[in-house]
């Protein structure tokens, strides 16, 4: 099917067909990344701005490589503070970006909703590279791509997502995406790190999304175990007593992983706190797909850029 959106803002708005289109397109782009010469002329003459208000080596580099492999001109802009602390409004920011006449803008911002606000003000395609604790759609898409590649399907899988759900845009986007595609998502973590009414954020709440009291209940029989980073910078807010207790109660160890399905895979969007949410023998073990996620991220982002700004007349 055609992908007719101007922007990619969140998973929640996407249909199953649109998600499938992105994943299928990424499959064809992954082959380019295996070639000796990893470059095609598809987006020649197009300009992509990576506008990051938060530091992110992984996502920014992935988008930059994706753009370059499609022959687009890629420019990185970083800002250490939000517009308000610079005395500028979002409208000013939008006007400045517009003046550079880009075709696509990848934006990461600590405030939820900024990509949505900018998309209303800017003609270029806006790609949400992560907005606060709201959504991180490209991460969820590359996670789904990786799962589908390994398992051959997503429907019917049991996926445990464990950790700091409250502050995680990855958890939200993955919850939307995986439940839309028919997986069962199980959430676990310290209760203060589970946002209120989390069970109700998906449309079909029958048993598509479960919030578990204990990590063991989430992992039991899971086909995918996705660990999230504990955000040490938030430790002062007393969400849980200590890192030591967290690692004992919620860390993924080889012993806990035995509760999962025999062929379960382990994922983590990175960066990891080794020894806190995940032990090194799990992170580096043969079930870990953590580096494969990074690898697939380029193909998925190539697909997104292509579908948004390169598919005219296709």
Partner 1 sequence: MNKLLIKGGRVIDPSQHIDKVTDLLIEDGRVKAIGNDLAADDAEVFDAGGLVVAPGFIDLHVHLREPGQEYKETIATGAAAAVAGGFTAICAMPNTRPVNDNASLTRYMVSKAQEAGLARVYPIGAITRGSEGTELAEMADLKAAGAIAVSDDGRPVMNSQVMRHAMEYARDHGLVVVDHCQDTQLSAGGVMNEGRISTLLGLKGISRAAEESHIARDIMLCELTGARVHIAHLSTAGAIELVRRAKARGLPVTCEITPHHFALTDAAVVGFDTNTKMNPPLRTEEDRMALIEAARDGLVDAIATDHAPHHEDEKMLEYDQAPFGVIGLETALGVALTVLHHTNGVALPRVVEMLTAGPARAFDLAGGTLAVGAAADVTIFDPEREWTVEPQQFKSKSHNTPFGGWRLRGQVVTTFVAGSEVFRVQ
Residues that bind partner 1 (CB under 8 A): 12, 82-84, 89-91, 109, 111-114, 116-117, 131-135, 169, 172, 195-198, 200-201
147/223 Cα distance (integer angstroms): 10
Is there a catalytic annotation at residue 58? yes
Is there a catalytic annotation at residue 61? no
Q: Closer CB to partner 1, residue 251 or residue 269?
A: 269
Of 44, 86, 120, 232, catalytic: 86
* Least Å from the CB of residue 230 to partner 1: 17
* Least Å from the CB of residue 115 to partner 1: 9
* Least Å from the CB of residue 167 to partner 1: 8
Is there a catalytic annotation at residue 39? no
193/277 Cα distance (integer angstroms): 14
Residue 172 CA, chain-centre distance (Å), reads 9
- SS3 readout for 270-311: CCCCECCCECHHHHCCCCECHHHHHHHHHHHHHHHHHHHHHC
Is there a catalytic annotation at residue 175? no
* Least Å from the CB of residue 84 to partner 1: 4
Of 108, 109, 180, 268, catalytic: 108
Q: Closer CB to partner 1, residue 53 or residue 246?
A: 53
Q: Closer CB to partner 1, residue 95 or residue 153?
A: 95
Burial 4-30 (b: 16+ CB within 10 A, else e): eeebbbbbbebeeebbbbbbebbeebb
* Cβ atoms 28, 304 nearer than 8 A: no
Tell me which residues are annotated as active site.
58-59, 86, 108, 136
């Amino acid at each position: 099917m055609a992908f007719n959106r101007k922007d990619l803002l969140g998973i929640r708005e996407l249909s199953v067909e649109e998600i499938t289109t992105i994943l299928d397109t990424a499959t064809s782009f992954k082959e380019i990344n295996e070639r000796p010469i990893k470059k095609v002329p598809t987006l020649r003459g197009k300009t992509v701005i990576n506008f990051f208000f938060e530091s992110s080596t992984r996502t920014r580099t992935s988008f930059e490589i994706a753009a370059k492999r499609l022959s687009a001109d890629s420019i990185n802009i970083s800002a250490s503070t939000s517009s308000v602390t610079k005395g500028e409004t979002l409208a000013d920011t939008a006007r400045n970006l517009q003046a550079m006449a880009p075709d696509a803008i990848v934006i990461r911002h600590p405030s939820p909703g900024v990509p949505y606000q900018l998309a209303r003000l800017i003609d270029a395609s806006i790609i949400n590279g992560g907005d606060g604790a709201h959504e991180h759609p490209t991460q969820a898409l590359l996670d789904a791509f990786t799962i589908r590649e390994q398992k051959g399907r997503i429907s019917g899988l049991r996926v445990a997502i464990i950790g700091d759900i409250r502050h995680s845009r990855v958890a939200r986007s993955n919850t939307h995406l995986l439940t839309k595609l028919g997986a069962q998502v199980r959430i676990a973590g310290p209760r203060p790190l589970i946002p209120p009414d989390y069970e109700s954020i998906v449309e079909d709440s029958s048993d598509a999304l479960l919030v578990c009291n204990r990590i063991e209940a989430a992992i039991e029989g899971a086909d995918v175990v996705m660990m999230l980073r504990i955000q040490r910078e938030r430790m002062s807010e007393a969400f849980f007593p200590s890192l030591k207790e967290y690692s004992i109660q919620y860390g993924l160890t080889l012993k806990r992983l035995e509760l999962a399905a025999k062929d379960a895979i382990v994922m983590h969007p990175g960066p990891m706190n080794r020894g806190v949410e995940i032990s090194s023998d799990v992170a580096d073990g043969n079930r870990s797909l953590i580096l494969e996620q990074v690898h697939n991220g380029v193909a998925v982002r190539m697909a997104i850029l292509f579908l948004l700004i390169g598919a005219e007349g296709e």
